[in-house]
Each structure stands twice: as structure tokens, then as C-alpha cells.
Structure 1
Amino acid sequence: MESKRPDHTFRTPSATGGSTATVLGYPRSDKILILVGMPLAGAVVGLLLPVLARQITGLSKLPLRTVAEFVASVEETWQVVAFMAGGLVVGVGFAFVSLSESLTVTLTDARLEAVHDHWGRESHARADVSAVFLDGRTLVVLDHDSRQLVRGTHAAPARQLAAAFRAHGYPWQAGDPYADLFQKWSPGSGALRPEVDAVLTARKEALKHKSGYDVRELTRAVEELGHTVRDSGTEQFWRPLVQS
């Protein structure tokens, strides 16, 4: 019996001819859950918020008491509907933000193309790729100097990503082949040249402000200086570039 293809991968004729393209994106079932579930959850929160506010307004130590008392006063039907509508709108916003954070990757035997809502579209030849792996839920593609060609969150399960990349001849790895080389960055430690420290200092500020575009551009600047960087929360870890 023919197996059913996973709903987060599909194949299309390649625009460049030759091999069929495999598109890896958010699983369809997850998209439906996010696009329907988050707005519904927001509406439910809007419905229950006045009830919860009435329960806590009697507390002696209550931060933002004026706000809590205002929410607790919501009783008219039109007011409840307005709160539900507000929750619905917030839920829709969260849903679209959640979907926009994930990469969509198109693979052929010759090239890979990565698309992200925040930093656009980029394409790389398979011959330029030395390693592909997952760092947590982050998909990482390295070139032959161990620079990060692609780095971004991907929603597909690891085994499906691995199978798709291997099917098109990409060097999928079980983990980062250079993981042991990373060191935690400490500003002014003397381990790095001052210009690298300066870029990492700016990058840390971009991380604090959650400026994804700036973080990405500053990562490229670090690589131009002969190193690369990855994050754990707001902590930065660096390593020298290594030729494969």
C-alpha cells in the first residue's frame, strides 16, 4: 500500500528543470490549529477576563487595581462582546506572528531556497553546502568555511527534514559538527580581537531588543571577521570559522 506523504511536505516540478522540488513548510494541521485555535483562545480569554477580575478585586495587595476594577465592571452584553472581539483580534495577531517566524525551504538536487517573512528569500547551490543540521528547532546550513548560509526556526519534524535533505543529496548531520569549538562570549576577555568584541556587543543589544534583522546582519559581520556565533537565550557563543 502506498504511504501517505506528510502534510508539511509536497513536491512540485522544479522551476529550473531537472529534479522535482520538495517544499518544507509549516505542517498543514499545525497551520489550521494556529489560525483557528489562537483566535478562539483569545476570544475565550476576553470572555473570562471580567469574571477573573471580579474574583481578584477583593485582594488587599493588587497591582493595577484601577485596571482590574474597570475590567470587573464589564457586565453589559455589548461590553462582553467587545472584550471577546478584542481577544479575537489579539489571537489573530499572535497566529500570524507565529507562522511568520518559521522558514519555508524548497529543495532540489541542485539548489535550496529559504524564505522567511522577516528577512526575505535566499538561494544557495547544493555544491556550496558542507553541512545541514538542527540546533534545537533551528535549521542551520553551513558552507565550506562553516559560515551559516541559513539559520532559522523550522516547524517540520526532524526526521522529515533529514529525509528530505538526504533525498536531494545534501549532507545532513545528526548535530553541529563544530559544536565543541564554541565558547561563551565575555566582553573584554581578550579572547577575541576588539573589532569582533564590538560587533558582538552591538549584537547583544539587538538580541535584547529582539531585532531579528539586526541580529542576522551582525552575525554576517562577525563571520566577515573570521568567526561565527550562535545564541542560548540572550547569551552568545562564538567559534572560529573552519574550512571543511
Structure 2
Amino acid sequence: MAGKELGGARDARGGTTELGHPRSDLLLLLVGLPVLGLLLGLVVPRLARWASGSPVLPWRDGIEFIGRFDAPWQTALVMAAGLVAGLALAFTAIAETATLKLSDALVHVERDGRTWSFERADVSAVFLDGKQLVLLGADSGELVREEHGPRAAALAGAFRAHGYPWRDADPHASLFHRWIPGTPDLPAEVHALLAARKAALKRKAPQDARDLAETVRGLGFVVRGEGAQQFWRPLAGV
């Protein structure tokens, strides 16, 4: 596998493949976002001064305040703030996407300091759902659903090379139903968990939403989101 192009590196001695952000994506994040922040810091005060002459201006006080930043030290301060904001966004984007290490026997998924490891025999399917990488277990439940850094071609090539069951789409997609509160198809306990998960997503608490989805799996169901909607299906054989 071509490490630069695919965003991964194959260790022939250990038979492993490491997948992370491609170098071009890292360059864009770590250089492009800070530079964009600097440029915004330079032009925002000027745009604010230009916009302050509009007779219908929302947030006039704030915009006029920014427009008064015309001294060199004030411009430098705003540019520095833009640089810091760009770096923060870049590191956040890197931390919130998963990196992987594959061998013929194990797959390790790391995200934001947390690592999950699964044996090859315990993985029944691997596929992409939008921007998320999904690994299914032997019971068809989700082992992992994470934003991924590597490109789709790199992921598919690496998993196939190590003998994992890569799929072009979710093999159980046709079994999902949109969650309707109170439907008799689900136990009351699952309804309560899905309601709590909806609230967690609304307050932007993704880890709580993951924990609730894992609890739902323990009751025999899989849940996934699509926009503001939740969808569920029974585990295979349940």
C-alpha cells in the first residue's frame, strides 16, 4: 500500500497497517486553518468598518466595536486570536476522528485518547455510513461507529488486505425502522433509552449518546442517527 496516497503505512515485519489522516489532509488542517484564522483576523475589522455604514445592521454595537480595531497592535491581537482559533479547530478535528491499526488477527481503533480492540473473528462486517466507519460484531451489533480520518479507498484496501469482511454498505440497512415514541414494536425500556439518547444528542453530548446506544444493544437492538431522526433494528437472530 502506498503510505502517502492512502494515509497509511504497512509494516511488513509485523504484518500491520496503520491508518490515519493523509499527509495532505494534515497539512490542510495544521497549516490551512491557522492561516485562514490569521487572514480573518486581518480582514474582519476592515469588513466591520465597511459594514457599519449600513442602515440595517444587526448586532450593530458589536460590529462597530470590532470596526474600531484599527491600531497596529489591535490588528495584531485580532490576528493572533484568529491563529489560535485556527489551531484549536485543527487539533479538535484531528482528535475527533479515528485512527486505526490493523493486522490479520486484530483491529485497534483509537479516538481522542480512547482505544478499542477487536479480534478479526469477532467482526462480521465493516463499512462506511457517510463519514463514519462502522464495525459490526458477530451478533450484528455495532462495535464501533466513529468519524474516520483515512480516505475511503485506504480503509477499504486495508481491511480487505487483512481479510476483514468489507462491505460497500450496511448489510442490515433494510431492517431499520424510524423511531416513533410509543410504538409497540419496542419495549418501554428501549423507548426510554432512545428518548434519553435524543436528549443527549440535542445537548451535544456524543459520549452519552454512545453509552446509551451500547445499553440499547444490550437489550437486543441497534440504533443509529440520521439528521434529527433515530432509527432502530433488532440484532440478527433476535
Contact kept, 8 Å, 1:43 with 1:88, in 2: the verdict is yes
Comparing 158-167 and 78-87, the one that deviates more: 158-167
Q: Using structure 1 for the length normalisation, give the TM-score.
A: 0.93
- In the alignment, which residue of structure 1 is the partner of 2:144? 150
Please give the root-mean-square deviation of Cα atoms over the aligned residues, in Å: 1.6
Please report how far the alpha carbon of residue 159 of structure 1 lies from its aligned counterpart in structure 2 after TM superposition.
2.1
Equivalent-residue separation in structure 2 for 1:243 and 1:197 (angstroms): 21
| Residue of 111, 114, 121 corresponding to 1:116 | 111
- In the alignment, which residue of structure 1 is the partner of 2:195? 201
Amino acid at match of 1:48: V
Equivalent-residue separation in structure 2 for 1:243 and 1:52 (angstroms): 61
Please report how far the alpha carbon of residue 183 of structure 1 lies from its aligned counterpart in structure 2 after TM superposition.
0.9
Equivalent-residue separation in structure 1 for 2:170 and 2:59 (angstroms): 47
Structure 1 168/134 Cα, relative in aligned 2: closer, same or farther at 3 Å? same
Amino acid at match of 1:33: L
Equivalent-residue separation in structure 2 for 1:97 and 1:233 (angstroms): 22
Equivalent-residue separation in structure 1 for 2:137 and 2:7 (angstroms): 26
Alignment of 1:35-74 (within 5 A): 35-74=30-69
Please report how far the alpha carbon of residue 116 of structure 1 lies from its aligned counterpart in structure 2 after TM superposition.
0.4
Structure 1 243/8 Cα, relative in aligned 2: closer, same or farther at 3 Å? farther
Alignment of 1:36-185 (within 5 A): 36-117=31-112, 120-185=114-179
Contact kept, 8 Å, 1:113 with 1:123, in 2: the verdict is yes
Q: Using structure 2 for the length normalisation, give the TM-score.
A: 0.95
Contact kept, 8 Å, 2:19 with 2:150, in 1: the verdict is yes
The residue matched to 1:141 in structure 2 has which SS? strand
- In the alignment, which residue of structure 2 is the partner of 1:22? 17
Give the number of aligned pairs: 237
Gaps of 5+ in 1: none
Amino acid at match of 2:151: P
Please report how far the alpha carbon of residue 190 of structure 1 lies from its aligned counterpart in structure 2 after TM superposition.
2.8
| 1:20-67 Cα deviation digits (max 9, x unpaired) | 110111111110110010011011111111111112112223222111
Please report how far the alpha carbon of residue 4 of structure 1 lies from its aligned counterpart in structure 2 after TM superposition.
4.3
Equivalent-residue separation in structure 2 for 1:240 and 1:153 (angstroms): 24
Equivalent-residue separation in structure 1 for 2:201 and 2:46 (angstroms): 37
Gaps of 5+ in 2: none
Alignment of 1:242 with 2:212, yes or no, is: no
Alignment of 1:223 with 2:217, yes or no, is: yes
Equivalent-residue separation in structure 2 for 1:129 and 1:69 (angstroms): 58
Please report how far the alpha carbon of residue 189 of structure 1 lies from its aligned counterpart in structure 2 after TM superposition.
2.7
Equivalent-residue separation in structure 2 for 1:89 and 1:226 (angstroms): 45
Alignment of 1:11 with 2:10, yes or no, is: yes
Contact kept, 8 Å, 2:107 with 2:120, in 1: the verdict is yes
Equivalent-residue separation in structure 1 for 2:111 and 2:12 (angstroms): 22
Contact kept, 8 Å, 1:129 with 1:143, in 2: the verdict is yes
The residue matched to 1:198 in structure 2 has which SS? helix
Please report how far the alpha carbon of residue 144 of structure 1 lies from its aligned counterpart in structure 2 after TM superposition.
1.1
Please report how far the alpha carbon of residue 13 of structure 1 lies from its aligned counterpart in structure 2 after TM superposition.
6.1
Contact kept, 8 Å, 1:140 with 1:152, in 2: the verdict is yes
